[in-house]
Amino acid sequence: QGGDIVMPIRQLAPDVAAKIAAGEVVERPASVVKELIENSIDAGASQIRVDLMHGGLQLIRITDNGCGIVAAELPLALERHATSKVERIDDLEHIRSLGFRGEALASIAAVADVTLLSRGRGAEQGAQISASSGQILPVTPAASPEGTTLTVRNLFSAVPARLKFLKSRNTEVSHCHHLLEQYALAYPEIRFSVFSDGRQIFATKGDGALSSVLVEVYGLQVAEQMVPVHSPEQEDAERPVISGYTSRPTCYKSTRQHISFFVNRRWVMSRMLTAAVEGAYHSLLLTGRHPISVINVQIDPTFLDVNVHPAKTEIRFLKERRVFAAILRAVREALLEQPQMPQWQARK
């Protein structure tokens, strides 16, 4: 029992502390992909390419055509609590960017070998910086297209405790794949392409239409079973605006995994929002059957707290019931409006 061993309180060595802190942000390859994709989106990219080797454990590379980073700022990008997105604490109240913690790149660099290659818009040439086992190496000039390429190698190779918990290569690939589908649904105007061990596994056109991403993610047959969801025009700032698509009751899945929410274009998980969607299917779906839904919520950011969890996938609403009610109503109306619904389902 622990009681027998009395250890003195000690300050952790910086690299040990960094690895422990990184655990909150970087759980598996998909969490690295998530942070890097968010950075590319924040950088205004219209094209994002993702390469995975061996489920991301060997290599994760994200290439974007966003605004890039100037050479002089490359070392800062890898520092903890260094960000270009937030300056004062009140900024968090009306945050529009996906990132704000300034922690992702530092955390990733604590548990993997990272190379950051970038060329800022209009810059003559690119530059690159690498970090290996937490050691940051000097910036060197390097040829680069406009935008940023971030390469992560040997993820967790120095963190055996974490490596042990990872699943097979295929499981990690499918986590990354699911995540990228979610971001593609949230950002139909961005062209995504995803490769696993050199083979393309997912791609979107980037034509701006959610319906065309639905086809890429779920296939034409399912996409044809989706009906548009929309709330009435916003009357007051407190009223969330709902948009998206949801499946006819004849089209369903056996898990809730395909009910996606984007709040101000941030992918979030929420039991409350899921319950609102499923509530709208009350009496339309048998138990054990779940809809496919993509629900966008636009809301005044002052009614949100996005800083709840390091991975930023949980948020808090100031007026939770209003959001619940708005989603329930919008989805319910979408289902009732659609003409092909069989009579027995439309009753009640």
By the criterion CB under 5 A, which residues form the site for Mg ion?
39, 99, 104
Phi, then psi, of 307 in degrees rounded to 5: -95, 60
The residues, any chain, with a CB within 8 Å of residue 80's CB and separated by 6 or more, are 18, 21, 102, 103, 106, 107
Instruction: Give the list of residues 6+ apart from residue 336 with CB closer than 8 angstroms, or none.
Output: 346
Taking the C-alpha atoms of residue 226 and residue 228, their distance in angstroms, rounded to an integer, is 7
Q: Under the criterion CB under 6 A, does residue 103 sit at the interface with ligand ADP?
A: yes
Q: Which is nearer to Mg ion, 104 or 117 (CB)?
A: 104
For 159-178, letters b (16+ CB in 10 Å) and e give beebeeebeebeebbbbbbe
The strands making up 293-298's β-sheet, listed across from edge to edge, are: 226-230, 241-247, 293-298, 259-263, 266-268
Q: Which stretch binds ligand ADP (CB under 6 A): 11-19, 63-71, 127-135, 277-285?
A: 63-71
Q: Which two tokens stand for residue 21?
A: 């802190």
CB of 149 to ligand ADP, least distance (A): 8
Q: To which H or E segment does residue 324 belong?
A: helix 320-337
Cα separations (Å) of 97 from 27, 33, 45, 230, 298?
Answer: 22, 17, 13, 24, 14
Please, which residue, 37 or 173, has the CB nearer to ligand ADP?
A: 37
DSSP string, 25-37: H-SSHHHHHHHHH
Q: Interface with ligand ADP by CB under 6 A: which range of 80-88, 260-268, 274-282, 300-308?
A: 80-88
- For ligand ADP, the binding residues in 105-134 under the rule CB under 6 A are 105-106
With CB under 6 A as the contact rule, the residue among 67, 129, 294, 326 that binds ligand ADP is 67
| Contact positions with ligand ADP (CB under 6 A) in 29-48 | 35, 39-40, 43
Of residues 39 and 225, the one with the C-beta less far from Mg ion: 39
Tell me how far apart the alpha carbons of residues 265 and 178 are, in angstroms, rounded to a whole number.
17
Whole-number Å distance between alpha carbons of 216 and 181? 9
Q: How far is the CB of 39 from Mg ion (least distance, A)?
A: 4
Of residues 39 and 246, the one with the C-beta less far from Mg ion: 39
- Single out the segment in contact with ligand ADP by CB under 6 A; choices: 24-32, 101-109, 242-250, 285-293: 101-109
Smallest separation (angstroms) from ligand ADP to the CB of 43 = 3
Q: Where does this chain touch ligand ADP (CB under 6 A) — which range of 98-106, 154-162, 165-173, 194-202?
A: 98-106
Nearer to ligand ADP, 39 or 246 (CB): 39
Q: Which one of 46, 58, 84, 157 is in contact with ligand ADP (CB under 6 A)? A: 84
Whichever of 85 and 153 has its CB closer to Mg ion, that residue is: 85
